[in-house]
Amino acid sequence: MKTFILLSIICFNVFALTQKEINVIFEKYYYSNQISSRHCGKNTDLFLKTLFKKGLDKDIAINLYIESPLSSWGFGQLVATNARWGKKYDYVTHTNWYFHVVTLIDNMIYDFSFNNTPRVIDLRTYLNEMFIPQNSFMPYGESFRIGSVDRQGPYYTKENAIKNLKLFNFSIRMYDDENNLVEIEKLKLEQLLNIF
């Protein structure tokens, strides 16, 4: 019996990845030429499948698909204000995406399109840093306005970003035994934050 327990512990340790090991693999891929702009789904898929080969349990890894089809500021796109690739302003690198895909493991986000260096941060911090600018900026020019009544614009502000973030849709997707992505659930921001 003791031999079985010891073998179980050894096997578990051989096939389990620690947070530190996952972070090392993330950093390696972050600087790899296998990761590229505008390929977030492919980048995330490559990262997760590598982790699975190294023993990560598929039940704890989430492929998080983000979209915002009702965004007025992004014209139906996500407005990212701390992107790795995009238009540079004084303090932000701004870009828009129709959708974005990141990895979520144990409430930590792994995003190859975030920041200029690899950072692994919790979900709430990520949403604040990636999608909410700390200062207003003008992404579309001086004549840009949103809405017919209040005529917002041309500055994208923290308040605009928070309203926009509430329109995001989040799809929880996981891999099955054959490594196919399966959508588990679609959530709004409040629902997502209540779970994680």
Q: Could you tell me the residue ranges of all domains in the chain?
A: 18-195
pLDDT of residue 5: 35
Give me the chain's average pLDDT, please. Answer: 83
Query: d(Cα 158, Cα 162) in Å, to the nearest integer?
Result: 6
CATH 3.30.70 fits 18-195, yes or no: no
SS3 64: strand
Query: d(Cα 40, Cα 46) in Å, to the nearest integer?
Result: 10
pTM score > 0.85 for this model?
no
β-strand 121-122 against 108-110: which pairing, if any? antiparallel
pLDDT at residue 9 greater than cutoff 90: no
Can you list the alpha helix ranges (DSSP code H) found in the chain?
A: 2-15, 19-30, 40-53, 123-131, 158-165, 189-195
pLDDT-derived band at 6, boundaries 50, 70, 90: very low
CB neighbours of residue 7 within 10 Å? 10
As a whole-number percent, the residues of the chain with pLDDT over 90 amount to: 55
Segment holding 174, helix H or strand E: strand 169-175
CB neighbours of residue 96 within 10 Å? 20
Query: d(Cα 114, Cα 122) in Å, to the nearest integer?
Result: 13
List, in order, residues 6 or more apart from 67 with CB less than 8 Å away. 78, 98, 99, 100, 168, 169, 171
CA distances from 128 to 7, 77, 169 (A): 44, 17, 16
pLDDT-derived band at 135, boundaries 50, 70, 90: confident
- Evaluate whether 126 touches 75 at the Cβ level (below 8 Å): no
CB neighbours of residue 140 within 10 Å? 16
